């Protein structure tokens, strides 16, 4: 089993700095997801690890060996592209066996290895069928098999599900999760889809503008975003965010959002010690805003239901609170136009410095 170490990786194309300073490690049997919007540098980072792009600066180690100057075919890398790298005129068996044949592996060993990989990927009944007649899920499994069968030290996947429809993608996420546990290879998985990252990644590196904004386990990324960008990018529906000002009012300390205030007297010293100014951004996820048809607390805030999205077991409520629009998630028997009362779960409230965009609480 191998370990991947990336240190201060940087890539410049002309005047454009695609990757600015990226460092991370992928441990044996671990899957790291590079997650971010288009243009954030995640695929460029992957291509440098694979040897398809030369770093402007920085270092890449596989099994403690510096591989910056090692050609791609000698790095021990398995690479699965967004576009399926299979031979359409060959059978599944021939596709899986191709790399082994190039290596002049004995026929008996090739057959045994192909059978093993086919079993792992659920392709046993398809071995002698042409790839042309397969579905997208099956073709992608063949592409993964072509990489895995060569016993790579590191497996790299570049948006492997982006070309399949939603129903197939959902099934393939489960298949990939199972395959990951079976093959036990250090894996880097590039995606712009947060659900894929949350499902497949042991850890997630959220990227923006060529930098990693936060790297942590999926639950930690969701519960404790370190920056305003991570808070906005992770979650569906996304976190409610609104600007406010920290002020002292009649012996209390409140977050003044103009349309309403949130009393934070108990946490005032911590906030003041960390913030660079009184200008802050409050974040709260929709599921952390309890709804009620009655005012059950003096701290409750009145809102009006603008739209209801039913999800079956719960609903998403689009609320108008003063001039602000908020989303709440739960279940309440109300109709569009009804008045409701909301509360903020203070244990789940997030505060970001408006200037630095960094979480302060």
* Per-residue pLDDT reduced to its tens digit, 202-240: 999 999 999 999 999 999 999 999 999 999 999 999 999
Q: For 296-306, write each residue's pLDDT tens digit.
A: 888 899 999 99
- Work out the pLDDT band at 96, boundaries 50, 70, 90: very high
Where in the chain are the domains?
4-233, 240-353
Q: Write down the CATH superfamily of domain 240-353.
A: Nucleic acid-binding proteins (2.40.50.140)
To the nearest whole number, what is the mean pLDDT of the chain?
92
Q: For 280-297, write each residue's pLDDT tens digit.
A: 999 999 999 999 999 988
pLDDT at 167 over 80: no
d(CA 44, CA 211): 12
Average pLDDT over residues 136-160: 88
Distances in Å between the Cα of 144 and the Cα atoms of 140, 273, 309 are: 6, 51, 38
Instruction: Please state whether the peptide bond connecting residue 290 to the residue before it is cis, i.e. omega within 30 degrees of 0.
Output: no
68 and 6 Cβ atoms separated by less than 8 Å: no
Average pLDDT over residues 106-117: 93
Q: For 347-357, write each residue's pLDDT tens digit.
A: 899 999 999 99
Model confidence pTM above 0.85: yes
**Architecture of domain 4-233 in this structure:** 3-Layer(aba) Sandwich (3.40)
Q: For 22-52, write each residue's pLDDT tens digit.
A: 999 999 889 999 999 999 999 999 999 999 9
Cα-Cα-Cα-Cα dihedral of 136, 137, 142, 146, to 10°?
A: 100
Report the range out of 58-67, 166-175, 265-274 with the highest average pLDDT: 58-67
Tell how strand 65-66 and strand 350-353 pair up: unpaired
Using H for helix, E for strand and C for coil, what is the string for 329-351? Answer: EECCCCCCCCEEEECCCHHHCEE
């Amino acid at each position: 089993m191998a370990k991947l170490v990336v240190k201060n990786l940087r890539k410049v194309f002309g005047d454009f700095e695609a990757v600015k300073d990226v460092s991370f490690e992928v441990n044996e049997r671990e899957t790291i997801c590079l997650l971010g919007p288009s243009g954030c540098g995640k695929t460029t980072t992957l291509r440098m690890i694979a040897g398809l792009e030369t770093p402007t600066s920085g270092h890449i180690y596989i099994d403690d060996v510096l591989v910056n100057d090692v050609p791609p075919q000698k790095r021990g890398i398995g690479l699965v592209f967004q576009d399926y790298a299979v031979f359409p005129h060959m059978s599944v068996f021939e596709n899986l066996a191709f790399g082994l044949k190039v290596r002049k592996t004995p026929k008996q060993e090739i057959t045994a290895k192909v059978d093993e990989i086919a079993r792992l990927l659920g392709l046993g009944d398809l071995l002698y069928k042409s790839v042309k007649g397969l579905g997208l899920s099956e073709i992608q499994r063949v592409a993964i098999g072509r990489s895995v069968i060569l016993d790579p030290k590191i497996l790299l996947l570049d948006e492997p599900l982006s070309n399949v429809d939603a129903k197939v993608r959902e099934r393939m996420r489960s298949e990939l999760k199972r395959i990951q546990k079976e093959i036990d290879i250090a894996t880097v998985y590039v995606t712009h889809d947060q659900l894929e990252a949350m499902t497949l990644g042991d850890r997630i590196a959220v990227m923006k503008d060529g930098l990693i904004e936060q790297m942590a386990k999926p639950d930690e990324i969701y519960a404790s975003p370190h920056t305003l960008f991570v808070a906005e990018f992770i979650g569906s529906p996304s976190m409610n965010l609104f600007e406010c000002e920290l002020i002292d009012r009649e012996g209390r300390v409140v977050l003044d959002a103009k349309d309403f205030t949130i009393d934070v007297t108990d946490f005032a010293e911590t906030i003041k010690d960390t913030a660079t100014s009184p200008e802050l951004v409050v974040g709260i996820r929709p599921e952390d805003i309890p709804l009620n048809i009655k005012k059950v607390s003096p701290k409750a805030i009145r809102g009006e239901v603008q739209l209801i999205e039913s999800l079956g077991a719960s609903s998403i409520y689009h609320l108008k609170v003063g001039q602000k629009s908020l989303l709440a998630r739960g279940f309440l028997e109300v109709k569009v136009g009804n008045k409701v009362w909301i509360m903020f779960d203070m244990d789940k409230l997030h505060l970001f410095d408006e200037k630095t965009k960094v979480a302060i609480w």
